[in-house]
Structure 1
């Protein structure tokens, strides 16, 4: 399937499904069963910074950045409904807000060498072209700027609960686009190894500072271990990974 077809399919699915994700997996949270920004402090001081959110969704991560004192809040998202919702969520921000509907694989006119911080919370893994997306992000940042992103750990959906036990039902080492079970096979996401993300960032010019896949479990366990995100699965493989890097 061509990248343009995948983008079209995924956009259609997001327009239908966006509402169930409003406000979910947003800063200061990085994703399921992992540490938060309150604990990790990957961004440091945000006050007075120009920030860009790749896959900004409903705008709740940008809202967090605004509360922390960011000077400019920029967001990019493929989904019309997400952008419209983000506009509503961010309408009372004191910071300047600019939201743009566009796939992350393209630069829709964002300024080069402008941002202090670029980040993506559980969105960047949707890209159909990882190298191109990282190259754009590198260009958007000022020298010395910070890039932080989180995504579902690539081991997570390889493991499935069947007949009272967890088994690996997909290869970790075979990469490429595939229909995603978590989206009832109505969306296509590229499976990539963790090393693929890391090496693509290095190739784009980034200096890696941290790679985090620590697991943080709640006191109570999930009642249903077959859920997409269950504590039982998180006891075996991380649900989330986080990478912090900087521009030379």
Structure 2
């Protein structure tokens, strides 16, 4: 892992690199990081109940991946399913996942306005995807514009401190500077030669950008371990995501806001 200071590279460079790498590793994520899950070891939607009633609602998934979150929404009675993802391979997988449904799927960066209807959706959400954006302000402005007045935006992402945590010999250590925002470069994503660049931001940056955009924040959740792991024991682990770490520090932040 390499921290790159002094600001982002050109966002187009990052997007092109990340798209190629996501196309290569997409198969690792078929059915992963999808509702009702909000993130590794975190409480699920069945526990948090952030979405309320979905029946007859118009839904937009940002970073729709393999389409399994949209499948979840269809099972809850959503009347329209829309999704965008940076990876063409992910979109192809999502089309297969949703082949028996009428889903509107688009391959595009979330930062780009591709003509998604404005003031149209009851719910916009993003499960472990919105943090990939190279332009948080532009992305939040777009997501706000897609929602009807009173509509909800719900997203989850790594807890902003989690990237700095290391587990060594049963202790949790802080590495690097939380105060210094920038990007992290991983030369090998999912163990493959697939370089990705991921922005690092403070939690206050996400919250303040939501406020600036005009959202009203309804809930900020620093995840606890889901009850499904109550009977699971685990020794100290140095893996990036581990139950050992999750029981000591939240893996995930989950925020609900309304227009």
TM-score using structure 2 length:
0.90
Structure-1 separation of matches of 2:235 and 2:82: 39
Whether the 8 Å CA contact 1:48–1:70 is kept in 2: the answer is yes
Match of 2:121 among 115, 140, 146: 115
Q: Does 1:210 align with 2:219?
A: yes
- Stretches of structure 2 that go unaligned for 5 or more consecutive residues are 1-8
Q: Which residue is equivalent to 1:232?
A: 244
RMSD: 1.6
Whether the 8 Å CA contact 1:155–1:237 is kept in 2: the answer is no
Structure-1 separation of matches of 2:223 and 2:78: 28
- Name the SS of the counterpart of 1:82 in structure 2: helix
Structure-2 separation of matches of 1:109 and 1:49: 20
Q: Bigger relative contact order, structure 1 or 2, given CA contacts below 8 A and separation 6+?
A: 2
Paired residue total = 245
Q: Taking structure 1 as reference, are residues 162 and 39 closer, same or farther at Cα in structure 2, changes over 3 Å only? A: closer
Instruction: List 4+ stretches of structure 1 deviating above 6 A.
Output: none
Q: Which moved more, 1:27-36 or 1:183-192?
A: 183-192
Matches within 5 A, 1:4-83: 4-83=12-91
TM-score using structure 1 length:
0.94
Matches within 5 A, 1:94-113: 96-113=102-119
- Stretches of structure 1 that go unaligned for 5 or more consecutive residues are none
Q: Taking structure 1 as reference, are residues 208 and 59 closer, same or farther at Cα in structure 2, changes over 3 Å only? A: same
Q: Taking structure 1 as reference, are residues 163 and 54 closer, same or farther at Cα in structure 2, changes over 3 Å only? A: same
